[in-house]
């Protein structure tokens, strides 16, 4: 019966409180998120000046860079 109460408590947990809890457990989670946002922002900025590069290639490079940053931060 007490396990039913535990499940309802987990479901009531909001996104912000979940993020705060995970950042306490692993302090590199916010670093990974910040790096992801930075890489995506920079990629969107550079999208304007991509010259003759195809859009799909630019987006693939941006995705690989963002994923690489997150995996590197989580690995640390």
Burial class (CB in 10 A: 0-12, 13-18, 19+), 69: buried
Residue 21 backbone zone (phi > 0: left; psi -120 to 50: alpha; other: beta)? alpha
Per-residue pLDDT of the chain (76 residues; tens, 9 = 90+): 445 555 555 566 788 888 788 888 887 878 888 888 888 888 888 877 777 878 888 889 888 988 888 888 778 7
- The domains of the chain are located at 3-75
pTM above 0.85, yes or no: no
- At residue 20, the pLDDT reads 84
Chain CA centroid to CA 67, Å: 8
CA distance 75 to 1: 38
């Amino acid at each position: 019966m007490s396990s039913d109460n535990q499940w309802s408590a987990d479901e009531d947990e909001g996104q912000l409180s979940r993020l705060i809890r995970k950042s306490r457990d692993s302090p590199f989670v916010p670093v990974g998120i910040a790096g992801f946002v930075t890489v995506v922002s920079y990629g969107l900025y550079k999208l304007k000046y991509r010259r003759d590069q195809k859009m799909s290639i630019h987006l693939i490079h941006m995705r690989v860079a963002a994923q690489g940053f997150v995996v590197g931060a989580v690995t640390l």
